[in-house]
A and B are shown apart, each in its own frame.
Chain A
Amino acid sequence: MANETFYSEVLTDHNMHPVHKHEMSVCTCSREGINPSCGDDIVLNLNIENGVIKDGSFTGSGCAISQASADIMLDLVIGRTVDEAERLHELFMKMIRGECSEEEIDELEEAGALRDISHMPARVKCAVLGWRTMSEMISR
């Protein structure tokens, strides 16, 4: 029953009641992230000032994993510098490869709910969609 626990309350909550899923009038950059094979399609908006992510939001549609992961990610990175956000992105990817220590997973807070996604290879791209999109934005 791996998935019975996989769709944890953290995930279903962020999917049904995403805090950061809304349009954003003030933002410095926006980027679309798509998984063509599943139809996950989000637009990530960030408001970056002096290297700090002041605010962020996303819009679009997709499966529970893609939506919850993007929402959790924004919880984590809002208020942090782009360097810190990128470090968390690397940590998230490391977790998905199953290479993170428990301490490192703790650092990812609620995103740790996605640690078992490595057992569902077809869904990895859903979990990383928001993170990948953010990383592409801040590396520019």
Chain B
Amino acid sequence: MNLNERNYKTDFPAFDAYPGLAYLDNSATTQKPGAVIDAVRQFYREENANPLRGLYGLAVKATEAYESARIAVRDFIGAKSEREIIFTRNATESLNLAAYSYGRAFVNEGDEILVTVSEHHSNLLPWQLLAKEKHARLCFLECTPDGEYTPEMLKAALTPRTRIFAAAQISNVFGRLNPIKEFAELCHANGTVIVCDGAQSVPHIPVNVREIDVDFLAFSGHKMLAPMGIGVLYGRESLLEKMPPFLSGGEMIEYVTRENATYAELPHKFEAGTVNAGGAVGLHAAIDYIGKIGFREIESRENTLTRQLIEGMRDIPHVHIIGSDKPEEHHGIVTFTIDDVHPHDIAAVMDSDGIAVRAGHHCAQPLHKHLGVMSTARASIAFYNDSGDIEKFLGCLKTIRRRMGFGE
């Protein structure tokens, strides 16, 4: 392997606690570097007060810490203004915000909402509920068996009634990168708003919202080294301006009477109640850490490891990879099945060998139905993994059928 010598695992305290662990469930959540854990600790030790409210020094410090995280996110994804960055709990909440606030206000009876069949439930169910509520039609963009969606396929599916198109930039099952920029062009030419789930892309490839030109982009902090409980919704300012609030309560108002209220400016209009400032500070530290390593290095390591993984898996009989057979189209996500062995049994055997993988439907039941499989197992890579993790995984994979009582 031509991975450089740097051992990134030493940055992650979890690997001090579990030195032998081959953690290959990074699409579910990543481990956290010491820099992130320390930043959160520092915030609660030295900067803790309720941000955006207090008039005393400590509260100003807390506000500065929180708002500088927003600036960091703005720059990280290339947004025009920090007014376009809304902190949420996670990508799921971000997508719900888009559906409940934008969707409820601008989708009407008879309109169409288009989603891909491989969407994570979090980018399907809010639209499904919205369609039911508004008597709108929920339509599906079907993929090829390799998990591919082309601009031509989207073009054929868009109609004059398509108000919203919701698609992941990288599918959490296929790992395939969708041509989101081309999708956005087609959507905008059609008067359709495009909502992009960036949960699996933002942590692994450089994402610039002005370049891909999506209207909304949702992602989670915890899948990109930050704490759980902090997420982001990027929204185009002109759309956010005309959207009604999502949640209501403290710190999202300007003026309140018994009957009415005027709402705070962006982005605070969408951040009701006390915010997760510690989480935002952790996300800021994660962005800084990623910045130090650089996406060139991250992508290069992840691609090398993905290639090693897929090439090794190809040689093992009875193992089937879902999606493309080209490693470069997987972005560290390799979903697979083994003949006759239930994925939960695969995960259990792997666990006994110190390997963490996901098994189940990966919150994409309609996709599994579309592919005709009940459930699958998934290995997912982050840059801090090393070739030893992959060797360990492949070594175990070879033994699973035998250990379950089948022939090799």
Contacts and interface: CB of A to CB of B under 8 A. Distances in A.
Interface stretch (B24-32, B112-120, B325-333, B341-349): B341-349
A1 B352 contact: yes
A113 B262 CA distance: 65
A118 interface: no
Nearest to A61: B374
Interface of B: 340-345, 348-349, 351-353, 360-361, 374-375, 403-406
A62 B404 contact: no
Contacts of A9: 405
Nearest to B361: A39
Report the 8 A-B pairs with minimum CB-CB distance, sorted nearest first.
A12-B405, A3-B352, A63-B342, A63-B344, A64-B345, A39-B374, A39-B375, A63-B345
A123 B341 CA distance: 15
B348 A38 contact: no
Nearest to A3: B352
25 contacts: A1-B352, A3-B348, A3-B349, A3-B352, A4-B352, A4-B403, A6-B348, A6-B352, A7-B345, A7-B348, A7-B405, A12-B403, A12-B405, A16-B340, A16-B405, A38-B344, A38-B360, A38-B375, A39-B361, A39-B374, A39-B375, A61-B374, A64-B342, A120-B348, A123-B344
A136 B404 CA distance: 30
A13 interface: yes
B344 A16 contact: no
Contacts of B342: 62-64
Nearest to B349: A3
A38 B405 CA distance: 21
Contacts of A3: 348-349, 351-352
Interface string A29-41: 0000000011100
Contact of A13 (B340, B374, B405): B405
Contacts of B345: 7, 63-65
B272 to A, nearest CB: 32
Contacts of A120: 348
A126 interface: yes
Contacts of A65: 344-345
Interface residues of A, number: 23
Interface of A: 1-4, 6-7, 9, 12-13, 15-16, 37-39, 61-65, 120, 122-123, 126
Given A3-B352, A16-B405, A38-B375, 11 more contacts: A1-B352, A2-B352, A4-B403, A7-B348, A7-B405, A12-B403, A39-B374, A63-B345, A64-B341, A65-B344, A123-B344
Q: Which of B344, B349, B352 has the most CB of A within 10 A?
A: B344
Contacts of A39: 360-361, 374-375
Given A3-B352, A37-B360, A38-B375, A126 B406 contact: no
B404 A12 contact: yes
A38 B374 CA distance: 9
A2 B351 CA distance: 9
B246 to A, nearest CB: 29
Contacts of A37: 360
A109 to B, nearest CB: 20
Contacts of A61: 374
Contacts of A123: 344, 348
Contacts of B340: 16
Contacts of B349: 3, 7
Contacts of B360: 37-39
Nearest to A64: B345
A23 to B, nearest CB: 20
A64 B343 CA distance: 10
Given A37-B360, A39-B374, A7 B344 contact: no
A3 B403 CA distance: 10
B39 to A, nearest CB: 32
A62 B404 CA distance: 14
Given A38-B344, A38-B360, A39-B375, A64 B404 contact: yes
Contacts of B348: 3, 6-7, 120, 123
A7 B403 contact: yes
A2 B345 CA distance: 13
A81 to B, nearest CB: 33
Nearest to A2: B352
Nearest to A5: B352
A37 B353 CA distance: 24
A38 B345 CA distance: 11
Contacts of B352: 1-4, 6
A122 B349 CA distance: 13
Contacts of B351: 3
Nearest to B402: A12
A27 to B, nearest CB: 26
A124 to B, nearest CB: 12
A30 to B, nearest CB: 22
A63 to B, nearest CB: 4
